[in-house]
Amino acid sequence: MCQLLGMNSHLPASLTLSFAGFSQRGGCTDHHGDGWGIAFFESNDSSPGKGVRHFVDKQSAATSPMAQMLKSYPIKSHNVVAHVRKATVGSVTLENCHPFVRELWGRYWVFAHNGDLKNYAPYLHGHFRPVGNTDSERAFCWLMQELTKSHADVPSVDELTRTLQELIPQISRHGTFNFLLSNGQALWAHATTKLCYVLRAHPFPQVHLKDDDVTVNLAQLNSPEDRLAVVVTEPLTTDEDWTTLAPGELKVFVDGTLAHCSCQCAAPPRPAPITDPHGPVPVVPVGPAPQCERICAASRACTNMAATSNPV
């Protein structure tokens, strides 16, 4: 299967350090050598950017000259989604490289998926059609189609999260559906099997990359005002406290904090209002678990205005 990497930051930050370790999994320290990609919602100030720099390559991330360039070229962003591919559905071509990008409500949306969806052939009847032949891009197009049907204009992050919680089970019933999704305002992360995250804030620790022999003191590279979340398939560092997402869990990161997390025990399931041709499906309930409320409250307590371009 593939691997995912995402970042959500309060201040525009570069992902050079994390991407340096992550890209090694694209054919060097791991076998995900069937292409890679990364998308940045670029920004130079405290407001999240709407424009996207999108790089994809069918070469492995460990050997791609483009990947080598991005390790040393800091692109400042509030939201980043990256992917290294191990092809299971679809050929090794440029159009099948994640992340995929679409426009909806005057904003770009970026999506990357890890997993296999068996017998997944949704009815696509609107503006969103796949260019390649992966199950991942079909799932992304269906999500965009159903979001369009559910909202007349761009809704709030909370409203989008509730709609996604109703839609996701209709896809995940077909197999493994680990994914990252961003529209530049937030980063949504859903796990079926493997996905974890770490919240970085002052005081910053010293970290050692798992996939490269590099040790960095983040306190020397970040200011006390910096705050961000890094989400990845498997931990990037050996000495940080990474939190694993539970199967079926959806987390939302905004402004470098954990803004929402679903939990099967947080509230009773409610029926999905969207028709599923395969019959009723369980819906991940709305509302964070009590322990998640404490995490969210603590992370929301920090606010700052200064900008940074430091690697994370």
255: nearest Cα among 38, 4, 7, 6: 7
Note the pLDDT of residue 53. 93
- Cα→Cα distances 271→134, 152, 176, 286, 307, Å: 29, 22, 22, 12, 43
The amino acid occupying position 44 is N
Q: What helix, strand, coil percent values describe the chain, rounded to 5?
A: 20, 30, 50
Q: Which domains does the chain have, with CATH numbers?
A: 3-300 (3.60.20.10)
Q: Are the C-beta atoms of 286 and 265 separated by less than 8 Å?
A: no
The DSSP H or E segment spanning 135 is helix 135-150
Q: Are the C-beta atoms of 255 and 186 separated by less than 8 Å?
A: no
Note the pLDDT of residue 289. 42
Residues labelled as active-site residues? 2
Note the pLDDT of residue 165. 97
pLDDT digits (tens), the chain, 312 positions: 678 999 999 999 887 777 775 676 644 544 445 788 999 999 877 778 789 999 998 887 677 888 778 877 778 899 999 998 755 665 678 999 999 999 999 999 999 999 999 999 999 987 999 999 999 999 999 999 999 999 988 899 999 999 999 999 999 999 999 999 999 999 999 999 999 999 999 898 888 888 677 888 888 888 888 899 999 999 988 889 999 999 999 999 999 999 988 764 333 333 333 444 444 444 444 444 434 543 444 343 333 333 344 566
Note the pLDDT of residue 191. 97
Q: Are the C-beta atoms of 195 and 261 separated by less than 8 Å?
A: no
Q: Are the C-beta atoms of 32 and 85 separated by less than 8 Å?
A: yes
